[in-house]
């Protein structure tokens, strides 16, 4: 059973990751749920991250990201929304909340809203949800992840590729 996504929207400035420790803590939570976290230094230009459902692997592209925990957090939160969709085996939002989600994304970031046009219709809903999640405060993203993927959390987390080039604290 998933967590409510639209009901968790906050007013005001969201608290994003402030340190590499925040990034590491959330990455550990992803690994505890069985999602491999990888960092690549050779992604195509413009690609910041990706999620491969078949391999249950989340990728961050260090060659295209600034050495800034806030930017890395945004990409990590976005890609983790795709992990949540994978855990849910479908969308995070009910159909009737998509319009409200679009309005929220437009308020958060006009460029993020406009980028949605670049996606094929078959991918648009997933991207709407991911962009909504990337704009939420860190604590809410973690709570959503626990709500959507909590049944996958386990004690022993698989190893992760070191976050070379992204800083270590």
Which has more confidence, 13 or 56? 56
The domain spans of the chain are 17-150
Q: What angle do CA 68, 74, 76 make, to 5 degrees?
A: 100
Q: Per this entry, what is the length of the chain? A: 169
Which is nearest to 129 in space by CA: 149, 153, 150, 100?
A: 100
Q: Model confidence over 81-93: pLDDT tens digits?
A: 999 999 999 999 9
Contact 140, 8 (CB under 8 A): yes
**pLDDT for position 5:** 52
pLDDT at residue 98 is higher than 90: yes
**pLDDT for position 76:** 97
For the whole model, what pTM was predicted? 0.81
**pLDDT for position 66:** 92
Summary mean pLDDT of the chain: 85
pLDDT band at 162 (very low <50, low <70, confident <90, very high): very low
pLDDT at residue 157 is higher than 50: no
Average pLDDT over residues 7-19: 49
Average pLDDT over residues 63-75: 93
pLDDT at residue 54 is higher than 90: yes
Average pLDDT over residues 76-103: 96
Q: Model confidence over 120-144: pLDDT tens digits?
A: 999 999 999 999 999 899 999 999 9
């Amino acid at each position: 059973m998933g967590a409510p996504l639209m009901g968790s929207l906050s007013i005001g400035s969201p608290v994003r990751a402030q340190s590499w420790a925040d990034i590491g803590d959330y990455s550990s939570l992803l690994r505890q749920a069985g999602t491999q976290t990888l960092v690549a230094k050779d992604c195509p230009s413009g690609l910041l991250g990706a999620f491969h459902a078949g391999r249950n692997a989340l990728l961050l592209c260090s060659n295209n990201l600034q050495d800034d925990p806030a930017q890395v957090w945004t990409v990590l939160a976005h890609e983790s929304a795709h992990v949540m969709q994978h855990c849910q085996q479908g969308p995070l939002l009910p159909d009737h909340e998509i319009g409200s989600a679009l309005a929220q994304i437009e308020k958060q970031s006009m460029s993020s809203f406009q980028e949605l046009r670049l996606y094929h219709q078959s991918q648009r809903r997933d991207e709407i949800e991911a962009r909504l999640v990337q704009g939420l405060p860190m604590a809410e993203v973690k709570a959503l992840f626990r709500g959507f993927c909590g049944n996958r959390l386990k004690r022993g987390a698989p190893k992760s590729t070191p976050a070379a080039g992204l800083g270590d604290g």
